[in-house]
Amino acid sequence: MMHPSMLSMVQKRVDKGDSEAISFLVGLVYYTGNGVKEDKPRGIHHWHQAAFEGDVESRHKLGDVEYDNGNLKANYEEQYQFAVQQCMISAKMGYEHSLNNIKAMFKGGHATKAQYAKSLLGYRDAVEEMKSPQREEAKQFRCRWLVANVAQNGHFM
């Protein structure tokens, strides 16, 4: 169960419209039931909010969910196309996991060569634009922070 002080901190960030808080500290928590009662629709709702605010990882999560839904449903093509769209957007924002998903969807016949190529070029351009020593340092800091929290609490929260 999520510690009450952590939940309070998360709620404050969500109230301020912090898309990362909405995505990871609310969307993922509700979607997976990590510390709260599982509520997949509520988690997806928060990912939609965060994606609208520009959160790249929320776009990726929405793509993952739709891809998984496509694997489970008889009428799957619509879910795959939504997954491709979401992953293309986040790949063009420099999110490598989404680029890898597009590649897998291309190999599986769910994305076209043109979609994969467009994602690849967009990803490359985004990565080039975002290179800076400060960004790399912040990325490493976030990784160390996540590892420390998992080691201390047994989960990412």
**Predicted confidence (pLDDT) per residue in 118-136, tens digit:** 999 999 999 888 877 777 7
Supply the pLDDT for residue 78.
Answer: 74
What is the chain's mean pLDDT, rounded? 79
> Which one, of 88, 134, 126, 135, lies nearest residue 110 by Cα?
88
Q: Is pLDDT larger for residue 149 or for residue 114?
A: 114
Q: What is the mean pLDDT of residues 59-73?
A: 74
Residue 120: its pLDDT value, please?
Answer: 94
Using CA atoms, how far residue 82 sits from 87, 114, 139, in Å, is 9, 16, 29
- Give pLDDT, residue 149: 65
Give the pLDDT score at 21.
Answer: 72
pLDDT at 72 over 70: no
Can you give the pLDDT at residue 1?
47
pLDDT recorded at residue 137: 77
* Burial call 116-141: b when 16+ CB within 10 Å, e when fewer: bebbbebbeebeeeeeeeeeeeeeee
CB burial class (10 A; 0-12, 13-18, 19+) of residue 56? buried
31 within 8 A of 57, measured Cβ to Cβ: no
Average pLDDT for residues 57-83, to the nearest whole number? 74
Query: Quick one: three-class SS letters along the chain?
Result: CCCHHHHHHHHHHHHCCCHHHHHHHHHHHHHHCCCCCCCHHHHHHHHHHHHHCCCHHHHHHHHHHHHHHHHHCCCCHHHHHHHHHHHHHHHHCCCHHHHHHHHHHHHCCCCCHHHHHHHHHHHHHHHHHHCCHHHHHHHHHHHHHHHHHHHHHCCCC
pTM, 2 dp: 0.55
pLDDT digits (tens, 9 = 90+) for 23-41: 767 777 778 887 788 888 8
